[in-house]
Structure 1
């Protein structure tokens, strides 16, 4: 299992939210460059980045900054937030980003997912964000009538190989990941599953590794110090 430390960008700052609520925004690092360097120093190979302004405004907002932080870091990077058309997909993938995450587009514009997968294959990841099992979009503001497993199956059917699953009720809470939903998802689709939301301590990482998910995103736990990134990476390398 790979560990993906996270950097969420809002107004150019490295921040965290509580349960996706923009009113709870909190700056957690001096700069995204410093945060990324810390991840690299701890032995991370991947990094997860989100343009929070982009997710809310349905367009690329912090894209230039994200691409530059990724380049300077030397890490493999996946990016989500505000990617609503092929031009945005191409922007990131032509600037050294390894994978882009389509979230709201998977709910509202399945044709974009189909076209992107056809063009870029496994570099296209779908982000499924759910509250009480139902998918949300547009920076988690919009509700949908789609169950997370139903959407995952649709994405698998169009060739998506990797899914980032976030339980919104766990995100930013340090209350532990939703192991039950993740286990259900892993058994329903053959896609690689990246778990997001709720990771707090090393035991959470071990629990996820034992579910045999592909990856785990860690954000707030790293910034608060409740999870030692270097230790987490070392442990997963042994499992």
Structure 2
């Protein structure tokens, strides 16, 4: 699988209770709802998205995927690569999703608890594992951003790259969903530490933030709240 041959702007379709939502700093109770996931996915593809970023938030918090029906409907409805995270805890979970048509599985909690899962999946499905390193207060957090691990994001990224990860998803939780801008120094350090693509997420509020992520060395940027709230259009972001 060829990944991110050019810089991409990837719309997020975060799902909770069967609806698209956006959370502030990943906290339950802060969600704003944006309707049907399939309609959102189709809208972003029609606007030019080359990849979609799906997250089963119920799965991330509870450890079991709760929006599987919506995910399958999106896989059937669109014809662009899909990366999916949230509640993927085992090799079998990942394999079933990849066989079903998901292009990349995003592992966060599972990768921290059992790093070898990255190597096991990557051996069967090369370049299909994106490891999610969600940083809050300078450390990697898991379980829907609720538990600290003590892991340094750069050390973790280097380890997962060695284990065969195809990409790193770096989310700056401290600015996630706040529409206050990105912190490019963190992206730049991480992108400079590994030879695999780093996808940035968190804090994007303007087209300048999109450009800043690219200039910091990210291969792509995931955008959620800014697109749903109309801070800019996906077409403008792709042009930027």
- TM surpasses 0.5: yes
> Structure 2: 5+ residue runs without aligned partners?
1-6
Q: TM-score, normalised by structure 1?
A: 0.95
Higher strand share: 1
**Of the candidates 19, 23, 41, which is equivalent to residue 29 of structure 2?**
23
Q: How far is the alpha carbon of 1:71 from its aligned partner?
A: 2.0
- The answer on 1:145 being equivalent to 2:150 is yes
- The answer on 1:215 being equivalent to 2:220 is yes
Q: TM-score, normalised by structure 2?
A: 0.95
Q: How far is the alpha carbon of 1:64 from its aligned partner?
A: 2.5
Distance in 2, matches of 1:157 and 1:98, equals 21
Q: Once superposed, what is the RMSD of the aligned Cα atoms?
A: 1.0
1:6 alignment partner in structure 2: 12
Q: Is the 8 A contact 1:128 1:152 kept in 2?
A: yes
Please give the secondary structure, in 1, of the residue aligned with 2:179.
Answer: coil
> Structure 1: 5+ residue runs without aligned partners?
none
Write the deviation string for residues 152-203 of structure 1: whole angstroms up to 9, x where unpaired: 1110111213000001011101111220100010111112000001111111
2:239 alignment partner in structure 1: 234
* Runs of 4+, deviation exceeding 6 Å: none
Q: How far is the alpha carbon of 1:17 from its aligned partner?
A: 0.2
Distance in 1, matches of 2:50 and 2:162, equals 29
- The answer on 1:58 being equivalent to 2:90 is no
Q: How many residues are matched?
A: 234
Q: Is the 8 A contact 2:116 2:163 kept in 1?
A: no
